[in-house]
Amino acid sequence: MQGVPIDLPMSSMDLKQVPPVLLYYHSSTKTLAEKIIAIVKESDKNMRLIEICHGIRWDRFRDGWPNIFIDNVEEIAGKDVIFVASFHSPEVIFEQLSLIYAFPRYLVRSFRLILPYFPTGTMERIDTEGQIVTAKSLARMLSLIPLAARGPAQIFIFDIHALQERFYFTDGVIPRLLSAIPYLIRELKNLPDIDNLAIAFPDEGAYKRFHTFMKEWPIILCSKVRDGDKRIVKIKEGDPKGKHVVIIDDLVQTGGTLIECAKALKNEECSAVSIFVTHGVFPEKSWERFIQPEVEFSNIWVTDSIPHANEIVRHKPFKLLSLSEAIVDALLILKSS
């Protein structure tokens, strides 16, 4: 275990007498966990220690089922524990849930689950009888995390598809719904054409979710409309002419809607188009269509809420906006004063 200082709420007792916080991670989130530690290391404040723990063995039995083991498990009793998870694929959810349920039963003092991407968030309502609301199903599964000594587990989720999904969780856990948008805004303010920006949303859902963050810039709203047998993207409100337009959404799958939105903006003579999505899902390497796209993009920002982002951002015009700092801030590890 490697110790670095952090600042979590505590009494005035001597910091040296306070046990360190233990940070565990899934095998797919090691890079994100190490970035969190690196940010904390850069602080020169007098803080409580955090130890990154490498002692989880993610093995499998010959039949494919998980064989998980926590080394030195007796050391977590009475400790504050953080687990950095990733539910980016159904194949890895069961093994992580098995571990997550186990931590409180090993008598941890408190438990915080970092789950940057809530994968079933887009299936949050029934439009046709017979549909299954899998967002509710996953929330129920997470709500079964046992109580720690100091009470319910806290679950940190970034830019969940719909804020009302917080009510899918029971009172047995505390969902903390966070956003990467404030960190994007800081990035935008470093652009050379900051005074010529406009913000576009590809649909009403993205507008409702994020427009209150973007009051500093003109807003453009796109919408899908029927054109014969097809549905095409058109500009519903706003004027992109001469502007560097940044399209914002919570997630991208194949990217078709974002590309069509960019085409509509280009047709109205915007000067440049960039994209930000918190969750770059990109099934079947659909991100490759943005490398040589039908529309040229100046920047495509994605976060590392899904582990494969670290590979995707090796290709232009993709850029990484890591959630590590936002996670540190959310954990109250660093404070502004």
pLDDT one-digit tens code per residue, 248-258 = 999 999 999 99
What is the model's pLDDT at position 224? Answer: 83
| Residue 78 φ/ψ region, left for φ over 0, alpha for ψ in the -120 to 50 degree band, beta for the rest | left
Q: What angle do CA 324, 328, 330 make, to 5 degrees?
A: 115
| Interatomic CA distance for residues 257 and 234, integer angstroms | 11
What is the model's pLDDT at position 294? Answer: 82
What is the model's pLDDT at position 336? Answer: 40
Indicate whether 260 pLDDT > 70: yes
Average per-residue pLDDT for the chain: 91
**Could you report the per-residue pLDDT of 116-157, keeping only the tens digit for each?**
999 999 999 888 999 999 999 999 999 999 999 999 999 999
What is the model's pLDDT at position 239? Answer: 95
3-state secondary structure of 335: coil
**Helix, strand, coil share of the chain (percent; to 5):** 30, 30, 40
Distance of CA 26 to CAs 54, 113, 115, 179, Å?
Answer: 10, 11, 11, 22
What is the model's pLDDT at position 20? Answer: 85
What is the model's pLDDT at position 18? Answer: 78
**Could you report the per-residue pLDDT of 147-204, keeping only the tens digit for each?**
999 999 999 999 999 999 999 999 999 999 999 999 999 999 999 999 999 999 999 9
Q: Which residue has the higher pLDDT, 5 or 74?
A: 74
| Interatomic CA distance for residues 265 and 254, integer angstroms | 19
What is the model's pLDDT at position 12? Answer: 43
Indicate whether 231 pLDDT > 90: no
Q: Which residues pair with 246 in a beta bridge?
A: 199, 274
Which phi and psi (to 5°) does residue 199 adopt?
-110, 130
**Could you report the per-residue pLDDT of 278-319, keeping only the tens digit for each?**
999 999 999 999 988 788 999 999 999 999 999 999 999 999
Instruction: Decide if 139 contacts 121 (C-beta within 8 A).
Output: no
What is the model's pLDDT at position 2? Answer: 57
Q: What is the pTM of this model?
A: 0.91
Give residue 47's pLDDT band: very low, low, confident or very high (50, 70, 90). Answer: low
Strands, E assignment, the chain: 2-6, 21-25, 48-52, 56-60, 66-70, 80-84, 110-114, 153-158, 173-178, 197-201, 219-227, 230-237, 244-252, 272-280, 300-302, 318-320
N residues, the chain: 337
Instruction: Decide if 182 contacts 213 (C-beta within 8 A).
Output: yes
| Interatomic CA distance for residues 242 and 198, integer angstroms | 10
Give residue 321's pLDDT band: very low, low, confident or very high (50, 70, 90). Answer: very high
Instruction: Decide if 21 contacts 50 (C-beta within 8 A).
Output: yes
What is the model's pLDDT at position 88? Answer: 96
Q: Which residues contact 309 (CB under 8 A, 6 or more apart)?
A: 280, 302, 303, 320
Instruction: Decide if 258 contacts 252 (C-beta within 8 A).
Output: yes
What is the model's pLDDT at position 134? Answer: 95
What is the model's pLDDT at position 89? Answer: 95
**Could you report the per-residue pLDDT of 53-82, keeping only the tens digit for each?**
999 999 999 999 999 999 999 999 999 999
Residue 38: alpha-carbon gap to chain centroid: 19
Give residue 94's pLDDT band: very low, low, confident or very high (50, 70, 90). Answer: very high
